[in-house]
């Protein structure tokens, strides 16, 4: 500690010896357009015009100003420019986390549209990043993040912030909805298992509070209400492989005959398969399995996992398109991303063969 204090003291003494007329180099301080104007012998407004490529300044004067700006290592003040123009040309996408194969394709779709429309994309996660909206560090936001409360988003919308949500239903003129058709997908998956003749069906749900999980469970319960002859068992999951692994433990403990399992996302379905891999249970024989999302890995699984498909890239692209439109003042309608059933060998009809272990 004493050593540090001595070094600081030494620095202070050295600082006192700097001659009062010493010029600080431009790279050691923030150069403003006022500095450029002074050296060029022109007004501040002339410098501003030149830096922005305005035709109000002659080519000769513009070249002189740009040369001086380069000499002084001038860097435009983005914050000041934002305040003046009230735009950053940056969109923010807020995600709960970055795990899972869905996010990669979603972001690819967003980035493609942003780049074609002259926008950059910044990906954010965590509560501290929320301030980017009220501080106008971005022009608008795409939300797929449960750390935002609906009340918080409505408050920002009231302040004229432009928002597209992918994970909830909100009613506000500054908020556009681009939602996955979760109910249709869950209905397709559940009815597919019923049509195969299964009489005992496990549903591995997502984390509590998840919009996707809630919507998918609503659809499952609508089918279940119509089919009271089937035994329905819900297992609390987490949309992670670990959730599927835990569900597999319960299913194995309770096993007496072939059963069907609907994991509300593919990650959990993969986790369930992983847990069963070293056991006597076989997917498509004793345990019939369907997921949701059609992530890339499922295409290489043996047997091929039955699942619900939709275009993640299109979802992301449409979200960016809608956000850019509402930023520019265009009126837009809410959008829905449609889904399809992918049949796979992981689901078959229950049989006597499947009952043997």
- Are 205 and 345 contained in the same domain? yes
**Percent of the chain topping pLDDT 70:** 87
- Are 316 and 282 contained in the same domain? no
Go through 274-289 and write b for each residue having 16 or more CB atoms within 10 A of its CB, e for each that does not.
Answer: ebbeeeebebbbbbbb
Which residue from 217, 285, 287, 273 is spatially nearest to 244, judged by alpha carbons? 273
- Are 301 and 164 contained in the same domain? no
* Residue 3 within a domain: no
Q: Mean pLDDT for the chain?
A: 88
Structure tokens at 233: 């068992």
pLDDT band at 79 (very low <50, low <70, confident <90, very high): low
**How is residue 72 annotated by DSSP?**
T
- Looking up residue 199, the CATH number of its domain turns out to be 3.40.50.2300
- Are 159 and 249 contained in the same domain? no
* Residue 68 within a domain: yes
By the 8 A CB rule, do 158 and 317 touch? no
Task: Report DSSP letters for 162-206, one per residue.
Answer: EEEESSS----TTEEEEEE-HHHHHHHHHHHHHHTT-SEEEEE--
- Are 349 and 327 contained in the same domain? no
Task: Report DSSP letters for 244-287, one per residue.
Answer: HHHHHHHHHHH-SS-EEEEESSHHHHHHHHHHHTTSS--BTTTE
How far is 80 from 243, CA to CA, in rounded Å? 48
Q: Which residue has the higher pLDDT, 323 or 55?
A: 323
- Are 140 and 115 contained in the same domain? yes
> Does the pLDDT of residue 16 top 50, yes or no?
no
Angle between helices 59-71 and 33-40 (to 10 degrees): 120
Q: How do residues 24-77 score in pLDDT, each as one tens digit? A: 344 446 788 889 999 999 998 898 888 878 888 899 999 999 999 888 888 776
- Are 201 and 284 contained in the same domain? yes
- Are 210 and 288 contained in the same domain? yes
End-of-domain residue from the set 28, 45, 76? 76
- Are 152 and 26 contained in the same domain? no
pLDDT band at 3 (very low <50, low <70, confident <90, very high): very low
- Looking up residue 25, the CATH number of its domain turns out to be 1.10.260.40
* Residue 351 within a domain: yes
By the 8 A CB rule, do 181 and 338 touch? yes
**How is residue 306 annotated by DSSP?**
B
Query: What local confidence, expressed as pLDDT, does residue 120 receive?
Result: 96
pLDDT band at 14 (very low <50, low <70, confident <90, very high): very low
pLDDT band at 332 (very low <50, low <70, confident <90, very high): very high
pLDDT band at 113 (very low <50, low <70, confident <90, very high): very high
By the 8 A CB rule, do 332 and 325 touch? yes
Average pLDDT over residues 127-140: 91
How far is 166 from 92, CA to CA, in rounded Å? 13
pLDDT band at 5 (very low <50, low <70, confident <90, very high): very low
* Residue 206 within a domain: yes
**Percent of the chain topping pLDDT 90:** 71
* Residue 12 within a domain: no
Query: What local confidence, expressed as pLDDT, does residue 26 receive?
Result: 42
> Does the pLDDT of residue 153 top 80, yes or no?
yes
End-of-domain residue from the set 76, 109, 143? 76
* Residue 9 within a domain: no
* Residue 2 within a domain: no
Q: Which residue has the higher pLDDT, 88 or 324?
A: 324
- Are 299 and 325 contained in the same domain? no
Strands 307-309 and 340-342: antiparallel
Query: What local confidence, expressed as pLDDT, does residue 32 receive?
Result: 84
* Domain of residue 200, residue span: 182-310+341-355
What residues contact residue 274 under an 8 Å CB cut-off, 6+ apart?
A: 241, 244, 245
- Are 246 and 349 contained in the same domain? yes
- Are 30 and 125 contained in the same domain? no
By the 8 A CB rule, do 185 and 292 touch? yes
Domain count, the chain: 3
End-to-end Cα separation, the chain, in angstroms: 71
CB-neighbour burial class of residue 303 (10 A; exposed 0-12, middle 13-18, buried 19+):
middle
By the 8 A CB rule, do 134 and 159 touch? yes
* Residue 149 within a domain: yes
192 φ/ψ angles, rounded to the nearest 5 degrees? -65, -40
Query: What local confidence, expressed as pLDDT, does residue 77 receive?
Result: 62
């Amino acid at each position: 500690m004493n050593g540090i204090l001595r070094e600081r003291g030494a620095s202070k003494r050295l600082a006192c010896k700097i001659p009062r007329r010493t010029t600080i180099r431009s790279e050691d301080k923030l150069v403003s357009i006022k500095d450029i104007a002074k050296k060029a012998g022109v007004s501040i407004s002339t410098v501003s015009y030149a830096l922005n490529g305005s035709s109000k300044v002659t080519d000769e004067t513009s070249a002189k100003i740009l040369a001086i700006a380069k000499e002084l290592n001038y860097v435009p003040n983005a914050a000041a420019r934002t305040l003046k123009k009230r735009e950053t040309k940056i969109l923010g996408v807020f995600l709960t986390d970055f795990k899972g194969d869905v996010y990669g394709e979603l972001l690819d779709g967003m980035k493609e549209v942003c780049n074609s429309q002259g926008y950059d994309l910044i990906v954010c996660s965590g509560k501290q990043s929320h301030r980017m909206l009220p501080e106008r560090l971005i022009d608008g936001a795409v939300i797929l993040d449960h750390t935002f409360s609906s009340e918080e988003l409505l408050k920002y919308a009231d302040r004229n912030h432009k928002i597209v949500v992918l994970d909830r239903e909100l009613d506000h003129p500054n908020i556009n909805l681009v939602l996955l058709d979760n109910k249709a997908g869950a209905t397709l998956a559940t009815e597919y298992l019923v049509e195969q003749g299964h009489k005992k069906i496990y549903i591995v749900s997502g984390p509590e509070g998840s919009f996707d999980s809630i919507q998918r469970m609503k659809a499952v319960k609508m089918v279940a209400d119509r089919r009271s002859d089937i035994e329905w068992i819900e297992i609390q999951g987490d949309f992670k492989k670990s959730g599927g692994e835990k569900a597999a433990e319960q299913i194995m403990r309770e096993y007496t005959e072939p059963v069907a399992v609907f994991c509300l996302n593919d990650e959990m379905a993969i986790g369930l398969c992983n847990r069963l891999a070293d056991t006597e249970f076989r997917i498509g024989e004793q345990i019939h399995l369907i997921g949701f999302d059609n992530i890339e890995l499922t295409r290489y699984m043996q047997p091929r996992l039955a699942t619900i498909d939709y275009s993640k890239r299109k979802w992301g692209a449409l979200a960016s398109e809608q956000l850019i439109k509402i930023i520019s003042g265009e009126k837009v309608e809410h959008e829905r991303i449609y889904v399809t059933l992918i049949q796979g060998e992981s689901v078959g009809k229950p049989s006597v063969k499947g009952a043997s272990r």
